[in-house]
């Protein structure tokens, strides 16, 4: 489980690099507004991380085609919502200070990371069902 989580973290780091590079390129080179650039970058990074997680992190698990990608996207959005909600909740609890967002951000990221890994491991890339054994 630890090795699987480490692979998941490396894939996530690579996806972040893809996401950030495409966002910056979209804004700085292509001249896109930030929101369209972000949506494009997120979509590509999501597909990139799905392919790598399926090939590396969960290579031993069954492949389920388009349904699996849809579950992956839904799990990613759910974990992203938890990340942002946690971030907002921590900001609401902390006294206003310049460092408050920098305290809230890693807490939100940690919650989102845990939810992402759990959903990917247990649902999106769930192990094959065992048939009845005697």
| Average pLDDT rounded to a whole number, residues 31-39 | 92
Q: What pLDDT is attached to residue 108?
A: 92
Residue 132 has pLDDT above 90, yes or no: no
Rounded-to-integer distance, Cα 22 and Cα 48, Å: 12
Q: Residues 55, 68: one domain?
A: no
When the pLDDT of each residue in the chain is averaged and rounded to a whole number, the result is 93
| Average pLDDT rounded to a whole number, residues 103-124 | 95
Is 99 inside a domain boundary? Answer: yes
Q: Residues 20, 67: one domain?
A: no
**Confidence class for position 51, pLDDT limits 50, 70, 90:** very high
Is 132 inside a domain boundary? Answer: no
Is 133 inside a domain boundary? Answer: no
Q: Residues 73, 99: one domain?
A: yes
Q: Which domain holds residue 34?
A: 1-60
Q: Residues 123, 68: one domain?
A: yes
**Confidence class for position 49, pLDDT limits 50, 70, 90:** very high
| Average pLDDT rounded to a whole number, residues 36-57 | 95
């Amino acid at each position: 489980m630890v090795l699987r989580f480490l692979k998941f973290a490396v894939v996530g780091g690579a996806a972040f690099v893809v996401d950030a590079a495409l966002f910056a390129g979209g804004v700085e080179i292509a001249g896109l507004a930030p929101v369209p650039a972000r949506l494009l970058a997120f979509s590509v990074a999501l597909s990139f991380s799905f392919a790598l997680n399926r090939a590396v992190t969960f290579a031993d698990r069954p492949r389920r085609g388009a349904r699996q990608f849809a579950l992956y996207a839904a799990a990613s959005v759910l974990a992203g919502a938890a990340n942002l909600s946690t971030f907002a909740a921590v900001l609401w609890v902390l006294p206003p200070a310049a460092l408050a967002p920098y305290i809230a951000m890693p807490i939100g990221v940690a919650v989102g990371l845990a939810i992402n890994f759990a959903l990917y491991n247990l649902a999106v890339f769930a192990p094959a069902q065992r048939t009845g054994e005697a």
